[in-house]
Amino acid sequence: MRVNPLDFPRDHRPDRAILSEIDLPERDPTTILINCAKCSPQAVSVPVGERDREHGRQGGSSVRTAAAELVTVLHDEGISHLFVNPGMHTAPLRQAFADAEALGVPYPQPVLCVHEHVAMAAAHGHHLLSGAPQAVMVHAATGRLSLESVAENAHRNRVPVTVLCGDGGQWASTLTERSVPSDQIASEPGILVTTGKLAADLARAGDPGALLRRAFQIARTEPTGLTRVALPVGLLGEPAGPPSRRLGPPRPPAPDLGALEAMAELLAAADWPLILAGRVGRNLASVHHLARLAETLGAPVVDVRNNVNLPPGHKLNAGRDAHDLLERADAILLLDVDVPCVPGLGKLPARAWLLQIDVDCVKADWPGWTLPIEIAVTADTQLALPHLVSLLADRLSPRRRRVQDRRARIERALRATHTAWAERAASTALEDRGDAVLAELNRSLPEDSVILEEVALGLGSTIRQLQRPPGHLFRSRAASPGWSIGAALGARLARPSQPVVALCDDSAFASALPSAAFWSAHRAAAPFLTVVLDRRPGGPGAGSDQDVAAMARASGADVAVVSSPGVVAETLERLLATTRDGVCTVMDVRLPAVQNDEPSRPRRRRTPLTSASTATRRPLP
C-alpha cells in the first residue's frame, strides 16, 4: 500500500518531507505491523489487546520503537505541531508517523522548516496564540548554532519550548552509558547551555522517556522557558522503554496576602502612583483586573506592549508619552516587567517606591536587573491583582475625593495626549507618515486579525495607532531582528481561520529569512501577510542593497508597494484575499527615514503634572 500524505485529512496531515511515499503492507484495521530485530516485517491480524502475546509467541521483542514513543509523548504533552528542521532524525520519524496514521493514533502535525531560525520563531508564534507548550527538532551538526539568538528570544519571552537536537553523531560511544541512573545526568555543554532552564542528554538516561517528560515539565513551570534535550541519532530506532507518565507543572504561585497588604498601604499613601505593565495581558482575564486596578487607584498605565494589557481606548492608557507622569511618580508598580527601565522613557525615578508583582521577581538571568524594590511579591498577576484591588478599595475609601481628583487630572492630561495621537494619524506631514499609515492599517484590518509586531524605528507610532483587542496584538523585544515573520507562520497554524499579520521594519524583514519562512508557510498551507515599514536612507523609493520588494518577490510572495495612507485599505483588501488563496503577501510601506524613533518636534509646554524630582526617595510611611 502506498501512503500519500495528501490522502490524509487536511487538519491532520503529515508534512510531505516527513511522510513521503512509504511502503506499508495491506492490512485490515485490526492488523498490527510486527517489526523488530527477531522477526521480519509482517502483518499479523490480531486484536490490539493481544498484540504483545502474539508477538511474544513469534519469539520477538517489543516492537515499539523510541521514535513511536516520542510521537506519543509529544501528543500527550499537548504538542499539536512539531517544527522540524530536516536532518538525521527524519528517517525514523517517517515510520513513526506512518504507523501512527495507520493505527489511528493521534500525533502532532510535523511542519517542515528549512532553517532552524524559522522553526523556533514559528514555535514562539504558535505559543502566543495557543498558549500550548512547543517542540522544535533540529539536526546535529550546525542546527544549534543557528538557534542561538532566536532561542534566547523565546526564552526571554517565557515560551515553554523543548528543543530536540542531535549529539553530533556520538551515539555509538555512549551506548554503554545508558545504564547510568537519571539522577546522575549532567547537563551537556553546548551552544544553548547558557540559554534555557535545562540541558540534558538522553544517551545518559536510564529512562529516556522520563527525562524527556521532565524536560517538558520544567519548560512549562513558571517562569516558563526553554529546555534542550540531546537526542542521539541511533536512539530513535531502538526499542522503546517502558511507557512514561506525564509530569504536570506546579500550580501558579498564590500571592502572599501580608505582602499585598503592605503594598496596598504604600500605593494608598502615594500622591502620584503609576503602573508599568509588561506581560499582564498574556492571561486575558488579567486585562480586566488591570483596568480595575488603574481606575480604583486613579493611576495611569504605561503599557510596554508585550501584550495588549489594557482595553483599546482606555482613558488611563499613557502609551509611551508619559515623561511627565514618570517624573512625577512617587510609587511605581511593576507588573510582569522584565526590563530595568521604560523603553523610550529611560530609567525609573530614584525618588519613587518600586513595587513588583511577577512570577520571577529576582530575574537571575538578567545581569542588569538591580532595581531597589521595596516590596516584591512572587505571584501570577492573574491571581494577585483581584486581591490588590480589594485591599486598595478598603484603604482608599476614606480618601475617595482625593483619588477622584487625581484620576480626573490624569484623564484630562491623557485626553490631550490621545487627541495628539489622532492628529498625527490625520496629519499629512512627512514625519507623521508612519502614524497615518498605521492608523489606516488599524482601521482596515478585520477585527479578528492577529498582529505580531517587531518594529525598532517607529515603535512609538505602533503603540499610538494600533488599538487591537486583547489577545490580538503581540510584540517581542527580540535579541536580534527577524522574529515576526517566522512567528506569523506558527500563529497561522494555531489559528487557521484568522488573518495573521507580521509587522516589522526593513532590517527585521531582511534578517527573518523570508525565503525560508514563506516556503514553509506555503508548504504547511498557512499563508500570512507581512507589512514592512520600509525606512531606507534617502526617503521613499531610494535605492538600497536591501530592496524589500525584490527580496519578497524572490521569496515567492505577492508584493504591493505603498507610499500613501490613502491606498492602504484597497491594497490590504487585495493582499488578504491573496492569502486566502494560499499565497503569502508583502506590503512594502515606503516611509521617510528617521535618525531616531521619533522625529524632532517642538516640546510641549509643561503640564500641571510636571514637577522637579527630588534627589532622594520618599520615606516610607
Helix (H), strand (E), coil (C) string for 319-361: CCCCHHHHHHCCEEEEECCCCCEECCCEECCCCCEEEEEECCC
Q: Does residue 620 fall inside a structural domain?
A: no
Do 390 and 449 fall within a single domain? no
Per-residue model confidence (pLDDT) at position 476: 82
Query: Is pLDDT above 60 for 543?
Result: no
CA distance 126 to 489: 8
Query: Is pLDDT above 70 for 600?
Result: no
Query: Is pLDDT above 70 for 603?
Result: no
Task: Check: CB of residue 399 under 8 Å from CB of residue 268.
Answer: yes
Tell me 498's DSSP state: S
Do 144 and 229 fall within a single domain? yes
pLDDT band at 9 (very low <50, low <70, confident <90, very high): very low
Per-residue model confidence (pLDDT) at position 614: 36
Per-residue model confidence (pLDDT) at position 16: 38
Greater model confidence, 3 or 594: 594
Q: Does residue 474 fall inside a structural domain?
A: yes
Q: What is the DSSP string of 22-71?
A: EE-----TTEEEEEETTEEEEEEE--GGGHHHHHHHTT-----BHHHHHH
Do 269 and 400 fall within a single domain? yes
Element housing 505 (H / E):
strand 500-505
Residues in the chain: 621
Q: Does residue 104 fall inside a structural domain?
A: yes
Per-residue model confidence (pLDDT) at position 608: 42
Domain range enclosing 115: 54-237
Q: Does residue 400 fall inside a structural domain?
A: yes
Do 225 and 344 fall within a single domain? no
3-state secondary structure 59-85: CCCCCCEHHHHHHHHHHHCCCCEEEEC
Task: Check: CB of residue 239 under 8 Å from CB of residue 210.
Answer: no
Q: Does residue 242 fall inside a structural domain?
A: no
Query: Is pLDDT above 90 for 119?
Result: yes
Q: Dihedral through CA 94, CA 96, CA 97, CA 99, nearest 10?
A: 120
Query: Is pLDDT above 80 for 14?
Result: no
Per-residue model confidence (pLDDT) at position 236: 82
Do 90 and 200 fall within a single domain? yes
Give the chain's domain count.
3
Closest CA to 255 of 423, 381, 425, 92: 381
Instruction: State whether residue 517 is helix, strand or coil.
Output: helix
Q: What is the DSSP string of 532-566?
A: EEE--TTSTT---SS-HHHHHHHTT-EEEEE-SGG
- Which among 416, 450, 467 is the end of a domain? 416
Per-residue model confidence (pLDDT) at position 594: 62
pLDDT tens column, 320-369: 778 888 889 999 999 998 877 777 778 888 889 999 999 999 888 777 78
Contacts of 572 (CB under 8 A, 6+ apart): 441, 444, 445, 529, 587
Q: Does residue 577 fall inside a structural domain?
A: yes
Do 95 and 182 fall within a single domain? yes
Query: Left, alpha or beta for 541 (phi > 0: left; psi -120 to 50: alpha)?
Result: left
Query: Is pLDDT above 80 for 145?
Result: no
Mean pLDDT, range 384-391, rounded to an integer: 96
Do 199 and 97 fall within a single domain? yes
pLDDT tens column, 171-183: 333 333 333 444 3
Query: Is pLDDT above 60 for 169?
Result: no
Per-residue model confidence (pLDDT) at position 199: 86
How would you label 1-15 residue by residue, b for 16+ Cβ within 10 Å and e otherwise?
eebebeeeeeeebbb
Average pLDDT over the chain, rounded to an integer? 80
Per-residue model confidence (pLDDT) at position 422: 93
Do 175 and 263 fall within a single domain? no
pLDDT band at 424 (very low <50, low <70, confident <90, very high): very high
Query: Is pLDDT above 60 for 429?
Result: yes
Do 411 and 443 fall within a single domain? no
pLDDT tens column, 224-283: 999 998 888 778 888 888 888 999 999 888 899 999 999 999 999 999 999 999 899 989
pLDDT band at 306 (very low <50, low <70, confident <90, very high): confident
CA distance 48 to 50: 5
Do 188 and 75 fall within a single domain? yes
3-state secondary structure 210-279: HHHHHHHHHHHCCCCCEEEEECCHHHHHCECCCCCCCCCCCCCCCCCHHHHHHHHHHHHHCCCEEEEECC
Query: Is pLDDT above 60 for 188?
Result: no
Do 233 and 275 fall within a single domain? no
- Could you give phi then psi for residue 150, rounded to 5 degrees? -70, -30
Per-residue model confidence (pLDDT) at position 201: 82
Do 479 and 532 fall within a single domain? yes
Q: What is the DSSP string of 406-443?
A: HHHHHHHHHHHHHHHHHHHHH---GGGHHHHHHHHHHH
Tell me, what amino acid is at 64? Answer: R
In the chain, what percentage of residues exceed pLDDT 90? 49
Per-residue model confidence (pLDDT) at position 215: 95
Task: Check: CB of residue 520 under 8 Å from CB of residue 489.
Answer: yes
Query: Is pLDDT above 70 for 155?
Result: yes
Tell me, what amino acid is at 303? Answer: D
> Cell numbers at residue 303, please?
503599557
Strand partners, 529: 501, 585
- Which among 376, 394, 416 is the end of a domain? 416
pLDDT tens column, 26-72: 333 333 333 333 333 333 333 433 434 443 444 333 467 888 889 99
Per-residue model confidence (pLDDT) at position 305: 76
Q: Does residue 608 fall inside a structural domain?
A: no
Closest CA to 81 of 466, 523, 398: 523
Mean pLDDT, range 109-130, rounded to an integer: 94
Q: Does residue 251 fall inside a structural domain?
A: no
Sign of the alpha-carbon dihedral angle for 210, 213, 219, 220: negative
Query: Is pLDDT above 90 for 147?
Result: no
Closest CA to 108 of 146, 147, 137: 137
pLDDT tens column, 449-497: 999 999 877 678 888 899 999 999 998 876 678 899 999 999 999 999 9
Burial of 319 (0-12, 13-18, 19+ CB in 10 A): buried
> Cell numbers at residue 28, please?
485490515
- Which among 380, 395, 416 is the end of a domain? 416
- CATH code of 104's domain: 3.40.50.970
CA angle 328, 330, 335 (to 5 degrees): 105
- CATH code of 299's domain: 3.40.50.1220
